[in-house]
Amino acid sequence: MASSQTSFRTWAELDKDALRHNLAELRRHLSEQVQVMAVVKANAYGHGVEWVVRALRGEVEWFGVANLEEAKEIASLASGNAILVLGPALPEERAALVEGGFTPVISDFEEARAYAALGGKAGVGVHLAVDSGMGRLGVWETEAVELAKACQTLRGLRITGVGTHLPVADEDDDYTLQQMGRFRSLVNELRSMHLFDGPVHIENSAGAIGFPSDAEDLVRAGLMLYGASPRAEFQEKLLPVLQWKARVTLVRSMATGRTVSYGRTFVIPQASRVATVSVGYADGYSRHLSNRGAEVLIQGIRCPLLGRVTMDQIMVDVTAVPSVVVGEEVVLLGRQGDQEVTAWELARKSETIPWEIFTGIGRRVIRMNAVR
Ligand SMILES: *Cc1c(COP(=O)(O)O)cnc(C)c1O
């Protein structure tokens, strides 16, 4: 983590208080006994996994990661927390996963048998993933009891949790309610047959926000912790954790008829002041923002992006900011004065989702603590 912004071309300022605030809002929204798994896959949604784990390790019960590499990355930092690996492991990753003490998910008997063989005397605890409509991993819901029964015959394996995933918790409430109802019946059946012992988890951010009373034992929260709500009604409760900035590297006057950037897609309509800014698509400022009404903030004023985003630089219209100087701060994502560019705004303008905006923020973007 860097400590001074003065020499950076593009950087992200991270606010620990905002992260903890968002977690507190989630807890307030849920029943008291519901546990929280902070999902920190993909470098904690681009926020810097070390920073996020250090900030939350005393505050959440679980961390969720995508794969073995990510689990190993946080193992020593998050020693007080359980770590669930959300995706299926490759066969050659399983031994290290068990040795690391991480919790894998299983979808079929072949995975169960492989983990059982690695379980030794102590046995390995796994979570049974159930496919109740996501179609990505898990045993299909009508075959889950059969698989859990088969697992009971395996020495070296215990089912220590059961989970499923919601594909439309922010798009289709009827489907989501039906899906959760079916899953709850299945869990009751598994429980009555003593086929597992441990937490039941269903909900991502959208699920936890939209259906707090269906949370069961544990929610797996990602996006909302970082301050973007997948459901509009909760957005006002959350604070953005990350602000993304760059700097003005040049300011020039451009006459009517001159063109800006590759493809010459933007023609200067009348004499303008144009600033060049030190960020590009290689930093994660998407090329899909080109000619889509994207704006950056300079001195609290919205300045339109001109022409195409290039690899390392963008050009913006600063005619409305006559006092702009080289070196000045440019806000790509975040607040300046009374203006704010949100991850949702960038996502809509580049036809994607805030998850991709955050995870797309590149390696050249220095992560640092926000100065309050
Ligand atoms: C990524 C992920 C989550 C977190 O989703 P958000 O929408 O970011 O809250 C939860 N569960 C699983 C299985 C995931 O892969």
Per the domain annotation, does 211 fall within a domain? yes
Find the CATH number of the domain harbouring 250: 2.40.37.10
Burial group, residue 330, by CB count within 10 angstroms (0-12, 13-18, 19+) = buried
Per the domain annotation, does 205 fall within a domain? yes
237 counts as catalytic? no
Are 64 and 173 within one domain?
yes
Per the domain annotation, does 7 fall within a domain? no
Are 184 and 38 within one domain?
yes
Q: How far is the CA of 365 from the centre of ligand 1 (A)?
A: 24
41 counts as catalytic? yes
Domain range holding 211? 31-225
Per the domain annotation, does 23 fall within a domain? no
Q: Which of 165, 168, 220 to mutate to test the pocket of ligand 1 (most atoms within 8 A of CB)?
A: 220
Q: What is the C-alpha separation between 224 and 65, in angstroms, rounded? A: 16
- Cβ–Cβ < 8 Å for 320, 273: no
Tally of structural domains, the chain: 2
pLDDT in tens, the chain (372 residues): 555 556 799 999 999 999 999 999 999 999 999 999 999 999 999 999 999 999 999 999 999 999 999 999 999 999 889 999 999 999 999 999 999 999 999 999 999 999 999 998 889 999 999 999 999 999 999 999 999 999 999 999 999 999 999 999 999 999 999 999 999 999 999 999 999 999 999 999 999 999 999 999 999 999 999 999 999 999 999 999 999 999 999 999 999 999 999 999 999 999 999 999 999 999 999 999 999 999 999 999 999 999 999 999 999 999 999 999 999 999 999 999 999 999 999 999 999 999 999 999 999 999 999 986
- The pair of structure tokens assigned to 368 is 């640092």
CA atoms within 13 A on the CB side of 359: 15
Out of 16, 149, 237, 262, the active site residue is 262
Q: Which of 37, 39, 105 to mutate to test the pocket of ligand 1 (most atoms within 8 A of CB)?
A: 39
- For residue 39 and ligand 1, the question of a CB distance below 6 A is answered with yes
- Cβ–Cβ < 8 Å for 227, 238: yes
Are 219 and 162 within one domain?
yes
- For residue 65 and ligand 1, the question of a CB distance below 6 A is answered with no
Q: What is the C-alpha separation between 264 and 222, in angstroms, rounded? A: 40
Are 293 and 213 within one domain?
no
Tokens 């600063």 belong to: 318
Q: Which residue spans within 136-217 are E strands per DSSP?
A: 139-140, 157-164, 200-201
